Amino acid sequence: MLEENVAQNEVTLREYLDLLRRRKAVIIQTFLAVLIIGIIVAYVSRPVYRSTGRLLVQPQISPINIGRNLDDPLSQLVQNRRVHSIETQMQVLMTPDLLNKAYSRAGVSLDDKRIRVDVSPGGENVDIIDISTEAHSPAIAEAVTNNLITLYIQQTKDWLLEDIEKSIRFARQELDAAKREWEEAARKLNDYQRKKKLTDYTTQIQSQTAMVAELERKETTVKADLEGLRASIATMRDELRRMPGTIEKVTVASNITNRDRLQEELTKLEANYEGNLQIYKPEHAKMKALQKQMESIRNRLKNMPETVRMREETTNPELRQMEEKLRNLLAQEAGYVASLAEITGQRVRAEARLRELSSAQYEQARLKQDSEIAQTKYKLYADKLDNLLLQRSAQPTPVQELVRASLNPVPVRPNRMLIIAMAAVAGLFLGVCFALLQEFLDDRVNAPEDARRLLGIPALGYIPRVERPDMRLLTADRSGGSLLESYRVLRSNVRFAAVGEPLNSIMVTSTAPGEGKSMTSCNLAIAMALDGKRVILVDADLRRPTVHEKFGIRNTPGLTNVLVGALPLDRALQDTDIENLQILASGPLPPNPAELLNSNSMLHVQQQLKQRADVVIYDTPPCLSVADAQVMSSNVDGVIYVVQLGSTRKSALRHGFELLRQAQARVLGIVYNKVQVDGKRSDYYYGYYSYYHKAELPSKATSKSKNGQSEWEALVAQGTDNEAPAAIAASDNQNTAEHEEKA
């Protein structure tokens, strides 16, 4: 059950933000450390210089490509083979042969990894190439860039004349082919027009299209009506199938006749069996058959009810009316189907006529388009051939030096701001990762969601941390404040948690000492008393009682006095300044608290307390320290579990909850105590078994133990309960061993 509840809960964004807030220290430390490293790296790196030059590309001379695209004839024109595009020229600039020549003129080797040449477009939709060289020396960067530009321009000029001649020959071949294609397309168009004697079909196509649209609209309307009618028919058929044909009337009659008949038959079989015993043995097959028959009748008599139900069926009058309505709807459906078939036939014939007209018009348009495309193609090739001839005469230079490399390049790396920014991002990322890792390794309950996912039980309230000790306990004259409101919410939630079930006794416990379970018990009792309830607060912590200190009353007489029979319960109850609130202090501390709380005397006292108050609240020790809380939890109507955020361990919380569940306790929910309203939480933690360590210190424990023991012995001497001396007789060593085993 616990695992199912945990699996159903999901971590929300708010929980992650709360996690980062709690772990902000490690995030800030990691961020600053990585940022400082980034700053150091940025300012100690050796600078790199960049020298940039620009080439202007003029791809105005282009031969004709073999490929054809009739949809876009201009796409058939391609650029010169060695001046094709910006990307192609960039690849040529980066060839090893050209780079080697540029490096050699600059006095460096091509294998020098400290030198980097980069070629990139000068921008979008521009015919410009940027050539950049990065090196640790400004002179080398400038020399390599300018040498590469000079060598590439010279190489392009050498290739140009050869490319132009090849392009002219190719353009003439394509021009002749385009002329023949144009003449053939014109001939086919003329032949088709003479054969078909076509006229303008635009008006007929428009009229036929309108007719098809009107028939489709009618067909859609009829289909919609037919679907609606069929849906009504289907609905009515479903109603007919569900409607019973007859109405059944049930009467109850006695079944005594059948039981008498079976009893009479059983009597005959028993008489027959007794008679056959004179002849056959009980192991005989016939005797076994009689035994089975008698056993069958006995089982039938045992299972036969004393009354039988009689059913009487009559014809359902609504069935015939529904069948008549269904026949009418089926008749309407047949009419709609016939009308739909007629409209569909008309539409099909109209669409066939429309396709015939459209096909004739399309064929004529296609032939005209082929002729126009062929004519346009011929003109394009003719213009291109004229341009190539003019280019051959002018001998233009397609590549020119636009910007020469600077003689005073500036350093471009390291980019200190970028390195610092990346270090900041990396530091923030690593800080978050370390925070998540620290949260994963942290076993403390740092948020209410941790306990909710761990145990799957609701939160009853959130009690804020109060720094001043004198302000932690509620008073009757306090009319507001976050502390009072938090206990009002707790009081309401406890009432809601017990809807439908009695809640006269409540036990308050925690996982470890110092989590505020005693203060929670006191303030909850005060809040319920202020609500008009008769409340009795019982200090069931018979090891380190603190309720009397908080209310400023005597610790004796108390619970232990009543348990051993030293005095009645009414004399042990103490009134307080709060109306409707009484306190039952712990009394003298016994040597065996667990046995005393598990005695019949304690059960008797609990019954008396329920009769004297509307709500009885028990303040018990932490459930992991000793077995007292586990013993008490099975005898109360509900248990409130107090958890301190940032202190309680998840493993301890799970262990304590398992102990209460083993005791069949009814855990109402969790109260989160000492919640920091300003968003900060403490990280202290007390050991579970150090709860009574201070009471055993030599300085104070000796006198306190002697006083407590003498007082307890005096109380035992006055006791009248027969069960208390037996509980007191157990030794302290045995109690300690049993408590450790249960915890």
DSSP-assigned letters across all residues of 225-277: HHHHHHHHHHHHHHHHHHS-SEEEEEEEEE-HHHHHHHHHHHHHHHHHHHHHT
Residue boundaries of the structural domains of the chain: 19-45+414-441, 246-315, 448-742
Q: Parallel, antiparallel, or unpaired for β 48-57 and 410-413?
A: antiparallel
Structure tokens at 584: 């039952």
Evaluate whether 563 touches 602 at the Cβ level (below 8 Å). Answer: yes
Evaluate whether 270 touches 335 at the Cβ level (below 8 Å). Answer: no
The fold adopted by the segment(s) 448-742 is Rossmann fold (3.40.50)
Q: What are phi and psi of 198, to 5 degrees?
A: -75, 145
Mean pLDDT for the stretch of residues 713-719: 47
Report pLDDT digits (tens) over 142-158: 888 888 888 888 887 77
Distance from C-alpha of 521 to C-alpha of 527, rounded to nearest angstrom: 10
Least confident of 174-183, 284-293, 434-443: 434-443
Structure tokens at 579: 């109306």
Mean pLDDT for the stretch of residues 228-241: 84
- With bands split at pLDDT 50, 70 and 90, how would you rate the model's confidence at 618? very high
Instruction: Mark out the alpha helices in 47-201 (DSSP H runs).
Output: 86-93, 96-106, 138-196
**Secondary structure of residue 399 in the 3-state scheme:** strand
Distance from C-alpha of 271 to C-alpha of 283, rounded to nearest angstrom: 18
Q: What pLDDT score was predicted for residue 680?
A: 44
Q: What pLDDT score was predicted for residue 700?
A: 37
List of E strands, 270-357: 307-315
| The overall pTM is greater than 0.85 | no
Distance from C-alpha of 145 to C-alpha of 131, rounded to nearest angstrom: 7
Report pLDDT digits (tens) over 514-562: 888 888 889 889 988 888 889 999 998 888 898 888 888 888 888 888 8
Rg of the chain in Å (alpha carbons): 51
Q: What pLDDT score was predicted for residue 685?
A: 32
What residue has token string 């021009």?
A: 175
**Secondary structure of residue 253 in the 3-state scheme:** strand
Mean pLDDT for the stretch of residues 389-416: 72
**Secondary structure of residue 601 in the 3-state scheme:** helix
**Is the predicted pLDDT of residue 729 greater than 50, yes or no?**
no
**Secondary structure of residue 539 in the 3-state scheme:** strand
Name the residue with higher pLDDT: 128 or 10. 128
C-alpha distance across the termini of the chain, in Å: 22
Distance from C-alpha of 213 to C-alpha of 227, rounded to nearest angstrom: 21
Name the residue with higher pLDDT: 721 or 419. 419
Q: What are phi and psi of 378, to 5 degrees?
A: -65, -45
Report pLDDT digits (tens) over 176-219: 888 888 888 888 878 777 776 655 667 777 888 888 888 888 88
- With bands split at pLDDT 50, 70 and 90, how would you rate the model's confidence at 736? very low
Nearest to 41 by CA among 420, 421, 428, 426: 420
Report pLDDT digits (tens) over 632-663: 888 898 898 888 876 677 777 787 788 888 88
